[in-house]
Amino acid sequence: MKQDIKEVDEAWEIVKKARNTNRPSASYYIKTIVDRFVSLNGDRISYDDKAVIAGMCKINEIAAVIVGISKGENLNDNIYRNFGMARPEGYKKALRAMKFAEIHKMPIICLIDTPGAYCGIEAEENGEGMAIANNLLEMSKIKVPIISILIGEGGSGGALGLGVADKVLILENAIYSILSPEGFASILWKDINRTKEAASKMKLTAADLKELKVVDKIIKEPYGGAHNNKKEAAMILKEAIIDELEKLMKCDVNEMLDNRYNKFRKMGTCI
Percent of the chain with pLDDT over 90: 92
pLDDT recorded at residue 3? 54
On average, the pLDDT of the chain sits at: 94
Does the structure show a pLDDT above 60 at 8?
yes
Banded pLDDT at 267 (limits 50, 70, 90): confident
pLDDT at residue 1 is higher than 50:
no
Is 217 within 8 Å of 169 (Cβ atoms)?
yes
As a whole-number percent, the residues of the chain with pLDDT over 70 amount to 96
For residue 63, give the amino acid letter.
A
What whole-number distance in Å separates Cα of residue 156 and Cα of residue 162?
11
| Assigned domain for 50 exists | yes
Distance CA 77, CA 224 (A): 25
Residue 255 in any domain: the answer is no
Query: How far is it, in rounded angstroms, from Cα 197 to Cα 121?
Result: 31
Domain, as residue range, for 10: 5-240
58 has a pLDDT exceeding 50 = yes
* Gap between the Cα atoms of 211 and 165, Å rounded: 18
CB neighbours of residue 265 within 10 Å? 7
Other beta carbons within 10 Å of 23: 25
In a domain, 259, yes or no: no
Where does residue 10 rank: exposed (0-12), middle (13-18), buried (19+ CB within 10 A)?
middle
Look at residue 48 in the predicted model and tell me its pLDDT. Answer: 95
Phi-psi region of 83 (alpha: psi -120 to 50; beta: other; left: phi over 0): left
Computed over its alpha carbons, how large is the radius of gyration of the chain? 18
Residue type for position 257? L
Banded pLDDT at 266 (limits 50, 70, 90) = confident
Q: Give the CA angle between residues 8, 10, 14 to the nearest 5°.
A: 120
- The answer for residues whose C-beta is within 8 angstroms of residue 111's C-beta and 6 or more apart is 26, 29, 30, 66, 67, 68, 69, 70, 149, 151, 162
Is 43 a residue whose pLDDT tops 80?
yes
3-state secondary structure of 37: strand
Q: Which helix (H) or strand (E) holds 16?
A: helix 5-19
Asked, for residue 83, whether it belongs to a domain, the answer is yes
Q: Quick check: is 260 in a domain?
A: no
SS (H, E, C) 158-176: HHHCCCCCCEEEEECCCEC
CA dihedral 267, 162, 156, 120 (to 10 degrees): -160
> Could you read off the pLDDT of 84-139 as tens digits, one per residue?
999 999 999 999 999 999 999 999 999 999 999 999 999 999 999 999 999 999 99
Q: For residue 17, what pLDDT is reported?
A: 97
- Split into its structural domains, the chain has a count of 1
72 inside domain:
yes
**pLDDT tens across 145-197, in order?**
999 999 999 999 999 999 999 999 999 999 999 999 999 999 999 999 999 99
Please count the residues of the chain: 271
Let me know if residue 253 belongs to a domain. no
Q: Is residue 51 part of a domain?
A: yes
CATH number of the structural domain spanning residue 62: 3.90.226.10
Write down the pLDDT at residue 49: 96
Q: How confident is the model at residue 9 (pLDDT cuts 50, 70, 90)?
A: confident
The answer, yes or no, to whether residue 248 has pLDDT greater than 70, is: yes
Report the alpha-carbon distance of residue 106 to residue 248 in Å, rounded. Answer: 12
User: Mean of the pLDDT values across residues 21-35?
Assistant: 96
